[in-house]
A and B are shown apart, each in its own frame.
Chain A
Amino acid sequence: MKELQDLARKLLDEGTVKVVIGYEEGARGVRPAFITDAKQAGKLIFDKRCVQNLAAYLNPRRKQVAQLGTPAVVVKGCDARAVAGLIREKQIERDKVVIIAVRCGGVLENSETDSELTSETVSVRCGGCDVREPKLHDYLLGELPPAPPVNNRRVEQIAALEKLSTAERWNFWTEQLSRCIRCHACREACPMCFCVQCTAEKTQPQWIDPSATPRANRAWQTMRVLHQAGRCVDCLECERACPEHIPLGLLARYVADSVERRFDYKACEDPAVAAPMGAYKTDDDEEFIR
């Protein structure tokens, strides 16, 4: 992708940015690249395998990346929402990051393969995505691609779970969460998890038992998902990062749906829109309150 490489070269040569965070060819498919030398800009690529959400590297918790200096970041539509979220929550400043948006027509679920985009191979995150051109950008690159193949896997799974009885749902989650090894990869991959000290690591008082027991796992995931309410950008990196393949995206998407239904808020690319959990309306739904 010459356009992207030329732009990266120009930005690095001018000294506008010190590092370009993008994608490069790796041993197992595409991997994130941190280009600090204009001579290396030729390594940058963008195609349907570029599934990672690079906004996670703008997170101020990533000190090694922050040390490199002013970043430019390659974003898809879903990643642009994460950048907007970080700006909204005052984690980064809009004028201290260069956003290189790429037009995206969906990415593969498994970035190690290079198969055609079909409704089976396309990432679940692309189901229902209507952002071809990220609005939040300094540069916009690429051809306008067709919409990704339709895939309703997530919606169908949530609908199937909602049909179950409460006890059956309990058993489903107990079984799924019993596999959790508490590696916290879901948190590390998440662009919106930027707390210096996570509640899961607090010991005075200890809110979340650090051991990988089904009980503690349930408390951990409940807490994580609640902290993401109204902040989750639906990039599903938590689910992709999970080494135990726990369908964390189901929880994320369910809470996002619940926020949308109740508070009419959807993760968006406008940093000026207030986050729903830090706001209220006097006539919010209270059918569940006695």
Chain B
Amino acid sequence: MSDEVEHGSDGAWSPKVVAFVCNWCTYTGADLAGTSRLQMAPNVRVIRLTCSSRVNPLFIIKAFERGADGVVVSGCHTGDCHYSTGNYYARRRFAILHDLLEFMGVETNRVTFSWVSASEGNKWQEVVNETTARIKELGPFRTLQGQKGVEL
């Protein structure tokens, strides 16, 4: 991802959002949203993983380091995991990450955790639009990127 701030068609800043989604529920849900022609903010880049528990918290840190303004992590609803229990473990990990990011001074609104099932195309649309709107309000996440040049 380039270090440049991305601009929308009107020249205004437009956020970059990276979404880590599970193959079995949210990716299919996002696909449904697409085939249903639901209107969504074009800011979200979807990365398909096998399960929400595949999401290492380092993915999220790396996304921010490389210039993302926001991150979405989404998987199957609890109890619906394709691998039975993956999202239960993921939920514990995200809970701690959520708390730690807040304590270290990252706005919690930049990271959206959600459960979107394969039939919830509408919910995916809402998640995408709401996340993008919230991050537009927060502004670019330049702080982590901007620190790059501050060599000691």
Residue B2, interface by CB 8 Å: no
Q: What are the interface flags for B80-121 relative to A under an 8 Å C-beta threshold, 1 for contact and 0 otherwise? A: 000001001101111111111011111110001111000000
Most chain B C-beta atoms within 10 Å of own C-beta, residue among A161, A172, A207: A207
Task: Give bound CA distance, A45 to B96, whole Å.
Answer: 40
Question: Helix, strand, loop or mixed for chain B's interface?
Answer: helix
Known interface pairs A254-B103, A255-B96; A215-B144 also in contact (CB < 8 Å): yes
B103 proximity list for chain A (CB < 8 A): 161-162, 169, 251, 254
**Which size bracket describes the interface of B in this complex?**
35 or more
Given A207-B62, A222-B100, A258-B99: A168 and B105 within 8 A (CB)? yes
Main secondary structure of the interface of A (DSSP, over half): helix
Interfacial residues of chain A within 150-196, with CB under 8 A of chain B in the complex: 161-162, 166-174, 178, 181
Which of B65, B85, B92, B97 contacts A276, CB < 8 Å?
Answer: B92
| Total CB contacts across the A-B interface at under 8 A | 127
CB of A285 closer than 8 Å to a CB of B:
yes
Contact of A213 among B93, B112, B150 (CB under 8 A): B150
Contact among A215, A229, A230, A276 with B147 in the assembled complex (CB-CB below 8 Å)? A215
A225 contacts across to B, CB distance below 8 A: 100
Instruction: Give the size range of A's interface with the partner.
Output: 35 or more
- Indicate if the CB atoms of A212 and B92 lie closer than 8 Å: no
Q: Which of A166, A214, A229, A255 contacts B107 (CB 8 A)?
A: A166
Candidates A167, A211, A215, A255; contact of B65 at CB < 8 Å: A215
**Taking the complex as formed, is B42 at the interface, i.e. its CB lies under 8 A from any CB of chain A?**
no
Task: Tell yes or no: B61 within 8 A of A by CB.
Answer: yes
Q: Provide the residues of chain B in CB contact with A288, threshold 8 Å.
A: 94-95, 98, 108, 113
Q: Report if A289-B91 is in contact (Cβ < 8 Å); known contacts: A166-B107, A178-B150, A282-B79.
A: yes
List 29 contacting pairs A-B, 8 Å CB cutoff, sorted by A. A168-B105, A170-B104, A170-B143, A174-B143, A211-B151, A214-B147, A215-B148, A218-B144, A219-B62, A222-B61, A222-B104, A223-B57, A226-B96, A229-B93, A230-B96, A255-B96, A255-B99, A255-B100, A262-B99, A276-B92, A277-B89, A279-B92, A280-B91, A280-B92, A284-B91, A284-B92, A286-B78, A289-B115, A290-B115
Which residues does A use to contact B, with CB under 8 Å? 161-162, 166-174, 178, 181, 199, 207-209, 211-215, 218-219, 222-223, 225-226, 229-230, 251, 254-255, 258-259, 262-263, 276-282, 284-286, 288-290
Kindly list the 8 A-B residue pairs having the minimum CB-CB distance in the complex, ordered from nearest.
Answer: A170-B105, A169-B105, A280-B88, A290-B114, A215-B147, A258-B99, A214-B147, A289-B113
